[in-house]
Chain A
């Protein structure tokens, strides 16, 4: 079956521009996560969606970052007024259960964002 897909695979933008990154989770997965991996760093949690519940936004680094999940499926991560430090690989993951059940998260291939 289809895995998690993300688009675009690469995005180069100029400082100050807004960008939108898209994630299509695995069908039937209720949980959706966004992470990012900066150069030479580990994966950093950004935001978590579970069903119709309010998202956990505790990992978003600033108010320039926002995300939404429409219809409990596709998610969009938006970065406004991009800065060079936003350059990273942005990874989306989905899971069929809540984190408390220890179910693994399945990751997409990521979007490599480069802010010039």
Chain B
């Protein structure tokens, strides 16, 4: 029972363009959603999060959008840079819970 899904295993985008990563979830009890970036042989690095009471959060080049009715969130990276090439994980958290539930990840390749 995969509660958080990232249906696109990979994404290729040209430098300077927008990268859009999508994430769907099934459990309406999640209170927070987070995005992490992971380079090979390193641990995940926190990027940005959003509370379930909001529909948008922006931090520099990164914006996360939340559509609760559709149980869908997305991460926009504008403009994309070659250093953004990594695996991106969507994760969800219940306020009453003790763990992050992760999606399977999306590998992003930004071409110069």
The answer to whether B42 and A104 touch across the interface, beta carbons within 8 angstroms, is: no
Given A99-B94, A99-B95, A102-B31: A107 and B43 interface contact (C-beta under 8 Å)? yes
The answer to whether A109 and B99 touch across the interface, beta carbons within 8 angstroms, is: no
At the interface, yes or no: A30 with Cβ under 8 Å from chain B? Answer: no
Residues of A within 8 A of B (CB): 4, 33, 35, 41-45, 48, 50, 56, 58-59, 91, 93, 99-102, 104-110
Measured CA separation A91–B96 after assembly (Å)? 22
Interface size on B, as a range, is 20 to 34
At the interface, yes or no: B89 with Cβ under 8 Å from chain A? Answer: yes
Measured CA separation A106–B46 after assembly (Å)? 7
Beta-carbon contacts under 8 Å, B40-89 to A: 41-46, 49, 51, 89
